[in-house]
Amino acid sequence: MSIANSESKEMKKTIIKELRDEQDFKDFYLKEVPLTFCDECSAISYKNGNGFLEIVPLEELKKKQKDIEGQQTRRKFYSIILLTEGEIKETIGQHAYHFKPNSLYFIGENQLHAVEYWSNNVKGIYCMFDADYFLLCVKHQIKLNQFPFFQLEKEPFLLLNERETSMMTHLFWKLNTEKCQKKNFNDDLLTRMFLNVILLEAERIYNGKAIQENFSLTRKDQIASQFQLLVNQHFIEKRQVNDYAGMLHVHPNYLNDLVKETTGFPASYFIKKQLILEAKSRLLQTNDTVSMISVKLNFTEDSYFNRFFKKQTGLTPLQFRKNHKH
C-alpha cells in the first residue's frame, strides 16, 4: 500500500535542474549512460520534434542510479511509474510521498520533483514520454492536461489492487513489446495506442477510487492551478495574461510572478504552449488547411500564424505536418 504524506515538505534549497528529454534524464540520474534502455529495440531516434517514449524496468535504473537524493528537477516531459516491489520516497510538487508495492504514480510536465530514496529491491516499470509523442497517439484523443493525475490540484498517485496491478503490468509489457518491434516511424501505431490505453485505464481507476486524504495546496499553487485550467478552456479567444488575471481577481504582475515561481515559466508561456499544442493536434489529426487552422485558432492573418508557429517550433506548419503525419 502506498502512503502519501499529507503535510507539505519543504524542498531542499538547491539549484533546480531542467530535464528536457530522455538524454537529460539519463545524464542526471545514471552513472552509466546507455544509448538505449532496450538492446532489442530498433535503433530509431526521433528527429524534428517527433517526441520520445522510453520504458525501462525500475531495477535496471536502480543498478545505475547516481546518488541524487533530494536534488530537485523540473522535467519537460511526463512520467508514469508502476512500483510492484520495494519502496520509493519522492517529492512531487510540494508534497512528500512514500510509495509501496502496487503503487502507480505520475510526474507531470514542469512539475517540481526530487528522488529521496529507492530501496535496493525495487521492481516495476518507469515510462516517460513527451507531449509531441502523445499527440500522435490517436485522432481526437484527450489532452494530457485533462488527466486528473497530471493536474496540480489532484493527487498524483493510485493505490492498485492485485488485479489492477496485473492488468497495468501487462499493458506496460505490451507497450514495450510493440515499441521494440516497430521498424520505422509509421508502423508504431500500436505503441502509441497502448500508451493511450494505459492513460485511459489509469484515469478510469483513478476516478473510481475515492482519495481519502485531504490534498491541500498553498494559495499560490491554487492560483497557478486555476490559471492553467482557465488557459485550457479559453486560450483560443484569450491570449493576454491580463485576461486571466482579471478572471482570477489578481494583478497581472502578481499572476506572472506567481506562475513563474510555481512552475518555472512565466504565465505567457502556458498560453503560447496551449496554442502550439492545439495547432500541432489540428495539423496531425485533421485535413484542414493551414489557413483553416489559422482562422479556427483566431489568428487574424495566416502569415502571423506561420511566424508564431515557426518561432515556437523551428518549423513552418506545413513542414511540421510533412515531417510528422502518417
Per-residue pLDDT band for 278 (boundaries 50, 70, 90) equals confident
More confident residue, 269 or 324: 269
Classify 147 in phi/psi space as left (phi over 0), alpha (psi -120 to 50) or beta: beta
Q: In this predicted structure, what is the pLDDT of residue 137?
A: 61
Length of the chain: 326
Per-residue pLDDT band for 303 (boundaries 50, 70, 90) equals very high
pLDDT at 34 over 80: no
Half-sphere exposure of 105 (CA within 13 A, CB side): 26
Catalogue the long-range contacts made by 312-318 (C-beta closer than 8 Å, 24 or more residues apart): 312/272, 312/276, 313/49, 313/276, 313/280, 314/49, 315/48, 315/49, 317/279, 317/283, 317/290, 317/293, 318/290
Q: In this predicted structure, what is the pLDDT of residue 244?
A: 95
More confident residue, 135 or 203: 203
Determine the average pLDDT of the residues in 29-51: 62
In the predicted model, what is the mean pLDDT of the chain?
A: 84
Q: In this predicted structure, what is the pLDDT of residue 208?
A: 86
Determine the average pLDDT of the residues in 260-279: 89
Determine the average pLDDT of the residues in 16-30: 91
CA distance 123 to 58: 5
Instruction: Record the cell numbers describing residue 154, joined without a space.
Output: 489532484
In sequence order, what are the residues at sequence separation of 6 or more whose Cβ sits closer than 8 angstroms to the Cβ of residue 52?
Answer: 21, 22, 46, 77, 128, 129, 130, 133
- Residue 36's H or E segment, with its range, is none
Do β-strands 72-75 and 17-19 pair in parallel, antiparallel, or remain unpaired? parallel
* Exposed e or buried b per residue across 29-53, where buried means at least 16 C-beta atoms within 10 angstroms of its C-beta: bbeeeeeebeeeeeeeebeeebbbb
Cell 499529507 identifies what position? 6
- Residue 141's H or E segment, with its range, is none
CA distance 295 to 156: 37
Per-residue pLDDT band for 281 (boundaries 50, 70, 90) equals confident
Q: In this predicted structure, what is the pLDDT of residue 183?
A: 67
pTM of the model: 0.74
pLDDT at 149 over 70: yes
Superfamily of domain 3-208, CATH level 4: Regulatory protein AraC (2.60.120.280)
**CATH class of the region 219-324:** mainly alpha
Read off φ and ψ for residue 277, nearest 5 degrees: -60, -40
More confident residue, 322 or 215: 322
pLDDT at 7 over 70: no
Q: In this predicted structure, what is the pLDDT of residue 44?
A: 47
Residues 265 and 298 sit within 8 Å (Cβ to Cβ): no
pLDDT at 288 over 70: yes
Q: In this predicted structure, what is the pLDDT of residue 187?
A: 57
Q: Where are the domains of the chain?
A: 3-208, 219-324
pLDDT at 286 over 90: no
Looking at 25-34, 37-46, 158-167, 255-264, which range is the least confident one? 37-46
Looking at 52-66, 230-244, 277-291, which range is the least confident one? 277-291
3-8 sheet: strands from edge to edge: 3-8, 95-99, 88-92, 112-118, 72-75, 17-19
Give SS3 for 135: helix
